[in-house]
Amino acid sequence: MKKQLKIALVAHDARKADMVEWAVFNSDMLSQHKLICTGTTGGLIQQAFEDEGIEVEVKRMNSGPMGGDAEIAALVVNKQIDFCVFLIDDLSANPHEADIQMLLRQCRIHNVPIACNRYSADLMITSPLWDDEEYEPKAPQYVPFKR
């Protein structure tokens, strides 16, 4: 599966500092891949990378409340996202909850790994399966279970 990954990075307002810190910590790995972010998160990550002298192209979609979560969900459906890190603020209500749930659901349906906290993001991004040239994830099968 060794290839350049398309990685989506999304973070709610209360989690943006966490996301920026995580992205800088993992910048060696992230700089080898294509990053797609919601608008504000992407701007903060790009600025942090520039401040650290790290050259990475960050594609920015709209902000989450303006449709960015839905845009990234559409990329998932079209097989244009390989991995998603979505740091969600579970302590606050979000007016665009339907878009958030859509992105999470599309990742699950289309078998795209999605990390919703830093620990799972660290585990997933460092998985040796990303470098295994013979590994191909199995497509999910939605059929009734029969014994």
In the set 18, 69, 131, 132, the catalytic residue is 69
Partners of 8 in the beta sheet?
Answer: 36, 84
Q: Contact, 79 vs 112, CB < 8 A? A: no
pTM as predicted: 0.94
* Among 109, 50, 46, residue whose Cα is nearest residue 76: 109
Q: Under CATH, which architecture does the 6-131 domain have?
A: 3-Layer(aba) Sandwich (3.40)
Give the three-class secondary structure for 60: strand
Per-residue pLDDT at 2: 72
Per-residue pLDDT at 84: 98
Per-residue pLDDT at 73: 98
| pLDDT tens per residue across all 147 residues of the chain | 678 999 999 999 999 999 999 999 999 999 999 999 999 999 999 999 999 999 998 999 999 999 999 999 999 999 999 999 999 999 999 888 999 999 999 999 999 999 999 999 999 999 999 999 999 998 888 888 888
Sequence spans of domains, the chain:
6-131
Q: Contact, 124 vs 117, CB < 8 A? A: no
Q: Is 69 assigned a catalytic role?
A: yes
Question: Tokens 């990234």 belong to which residue?
Answer: 72
